[in-house]
């Protein structure tokens, strides 16, 4: 016999809010990096919202201590309970997008972070030291994966999708809607046949990280510091690439005090457009994969004359390499909403609109060039924090 390499995806005994004590929709929050100050205030108004763990109040080390104290208190009181059996947590999300109701179905499981397991993981964005340091301190304090990373995988034969469909035919373990309008249903699945079908369907697949690159890197670092079976995996939401509810949006850029238009004039063919709607329409149809939009004094479609050494086929690489150069990432603001980008621009900034792309293009780009710039993609909606937690303690 010889060993066949496999993706490391496992069921685990999750820690969940007791559905008899709290309504699921009230305890959920977005991931830490998309919670703005006003939203944080609204979420913290409820004593048992997951924001108290994910984005705790306090300065310096105190915020990590506050999160750990909250976790311990909720566990002692029975607000959080641990499942007795290892489970996959099948998750259905219903949401409105582009005038239609969409449905996305994936599952939460434990994804390997060891060097051996990493061979089956495809990160696609470069990470930054500041958010990694923050998430590592939180992980060391709470010893729990609070929010999941988001991964996608090919399921061309539909084996995993069929297993997920079987799981969702039963009564959900918990359900509720977030204020944003996203409705969740969750199934804790320990059925051996369904678990086996999911594991087998993923066995030879490479999992592309869609969101949560910092948390993935931090989990690898934590395993190096505290190697254990529990720390060898990270909480992950995994969704088939073929799922019709999988939506990926381009993340637009807003910069200040940078001669973007001057650089574009030198390297691109420019076409003026009559407003944002026309620009977005022409950008989506542009054959040049590195085309982008500029909003400054007017609305301009920019099509680079050459690829300037870029090979990904995605405009985010060309923009970072040729338009922004050595601009520090903290001088760039990001949003997937083109209208919001114009609001953030103010009177002196420049909006750089990113050309839309398909999920398969991301995988192809990563396999071709490796890591892309930060905030290259925005998978919508973000998977909520609070559906289930994964403890790193026995």
pLDDT-derived band of residue 77, with 50, 70 and 90 as boundaries? very high
Pairwise CA distance, residues 331 & 75, whole Å: 40
How many Cβ atoms are within 10 Å of 391's Cβ, its own excluded? 19
Q: What is the pLDDT of residues 159-182, one digit of tens each?
A: 999 999 999 999 999 999 999 999
Pairwise CA distance, residues 320 & 308, whole Å: 11
Mean pLDDT value across residues 378-388: 96
pLDDT-derived band of residue 100, with 50, 70 and 90 as boundaries? very high
Residue 95 sits at the vertex; the CA angle it makes with 89 and 96, to the nearest 5 degrees, is 165
Percent of the chain's residues with pLDDT above 90: 91
Residue 2 has pLDDT above 80, yes or no: no
- List of residues 6+ apart from 59 with CB closer than 8 A: none
Rounded alpha-carbon distances, angstroms, from residue 202 to 9, 152, 368: 8, 11, 22
Pairwise CA distance, residues 77 & 343, whole Å: 45
Alpha carbons within 13 A on the beta-carbon side of 180: 20
217-225's contacts with Cβ under 8 Å and 24+ in sequence apart are 217/123, 217/127, 217/132, 218/132, 218/135, 218/136, 218/139, 219/113, 219/139, 219/145, 220/113, 220/118, 221/132, 221/136, 222/136, 222/139, 222/140, 222/392, 223/113, 223/114, 225/140
Please tell me which residue, 298 or 326, carries the higher pLDDT value: 298
Looking at residue 346, its pLDDT comes to 80
Q: Picking from 79-88, 100-109, 237-246, 371-380, which range would have the lowest pLDDT averaged per residue?
A: 371-380
Q: Estimate to the nearest angstrom the gap between the alpha carbon of 389 and the chain centroid.
A: 16
Percent of the chain's residues with pLDDT above 70: 99
Contact 207, 84 (CB under 8 A): no
Locate 64 and state its tokens: 């990590």
pTM of the model: 0.93
Mean pLDDT value across residues 123-129: 91
pLDDT-derived band of residue 219, with 50, 70 and 90 as boundaries? very high
Looking at residue 10, its pLDDT comes to 96
Locate 43 and state its tokens: 């979420």
Pairwise CA distance, residues 324 & 350, whole Å: 12
Nearest to 375 by CA among 125, 150, 32, 207: 125
Residue 1 has pLDDT above 60, yes or no: no
Locate 58 and state its tokens: 């306090």
Report the chain's mean pLDDT, rounded to a whole number.
Answer: 94
Q: Is the peptide bond before 381 cis (omega within 30 degrees of 0)?
A: yes
Looking at residue 288, its pLDDT comes to 97
Looking at residue 5, its pLDDT comes to 56
Pairwise CA distance, residues 306 & 288, whole Å: 10
Q: Token pair 């909606």 is at which residue?
A: 381
Pairwise CA distance, residues 78 & 80, whole Å: 5
Q: What is the pLDDT of residues 9-62, one digit of tens each?
A: 999 999 999 999 999 999 999 999 999 999 999 999 999 999 999 999 999 999
Residue 4 has pLDDT above 50, yes or no: no
Q: Estimate to the nearest angstrom the gap between the alpha carbon of 143 and the chain centroid.
A: 21
Residue 254 has pLDDT above 70, yes or no: yes
Please tell me which residue, 5 or 81, carries the higher pLDDT value: 81
Looking at residue 269, its pLDDT comes to 97
């Amino acid at each position: 016999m010889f060993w066949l390499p496999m993706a490391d995806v496992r069921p685990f005994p999750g820690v969940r809010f007791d559905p008899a004590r709290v309504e699921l929709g009230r305890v959920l929050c977005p991931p830490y990096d998309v919670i703005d100050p006003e939203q944080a205030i609204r979420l913290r108004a409820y004593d048992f919202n997951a924001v108290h763990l994910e984005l705790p109040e306090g300065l310096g080390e105190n915020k990590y201590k506050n999160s750990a104290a909250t976790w311990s208190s909720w566990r002692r009181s029975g607000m959080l309970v641990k499942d007795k059996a290892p489970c996959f947590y099948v998750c259905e999300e219903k949401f409105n997008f582009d005038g239609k109701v969409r449905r996305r179905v994936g599952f939460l499981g434990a994804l390997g972070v060891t060097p051996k397991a990493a061979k089956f993981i495809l990160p696609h964005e470069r990470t930054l030291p500041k958010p990694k340091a923050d998430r590592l301190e939180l992980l060391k304090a709470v010893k729990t994966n609070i929010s999941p990373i988001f991964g996608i995988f090919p399921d061309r034969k539909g084996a995993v999708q069929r297993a997920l469909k079987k799981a969702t035919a039963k009564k959900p373990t918990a359900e509720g809607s977030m204020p944003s309008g996203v409705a969740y249903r969750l199934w804790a699945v320990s059925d051996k046949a369904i678990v086996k079908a999911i594991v087998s369907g993923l066995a030879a697949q490479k999992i592309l990280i869609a969101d949560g690159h910092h948390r993935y890197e931090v989990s690898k670092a934590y395993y190096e510091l505290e190697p254990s079976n529990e720390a060898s995996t990270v909480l992950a939401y995994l969704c088939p690439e073929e799922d019709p509810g999988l939506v990926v949006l381009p993340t637009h850029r807003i910069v200040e005090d940078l001669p973007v238009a001057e650089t574009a004039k030198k390297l691109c063919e420019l076409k003026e457009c009559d407003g944002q709607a026309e620009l977005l329409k022409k950008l989506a149809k542009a054959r040049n994969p590195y085309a982008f939009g500029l909003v400054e004094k007017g609305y301009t479609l920019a099509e680079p004359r050459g690829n300037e050494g870029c090979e990904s086929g995605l405009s985010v690489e060309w923009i970072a390499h040729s338009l922004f150069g050595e601009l520090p990432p903290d001088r760039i603001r990001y949003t997937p909403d083109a209208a919001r980008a114009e609001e953030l621009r103010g009177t002196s900034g420049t909006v750089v609109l990113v050309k839309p792309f398909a999920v398969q293009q991301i995988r192809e780009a990563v396999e071709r060039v490796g890591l892309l710039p930060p905030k290259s993609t925005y998978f919508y909606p973000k998977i909520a924090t609070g559906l289930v937690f994964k403890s790193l303690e026995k």
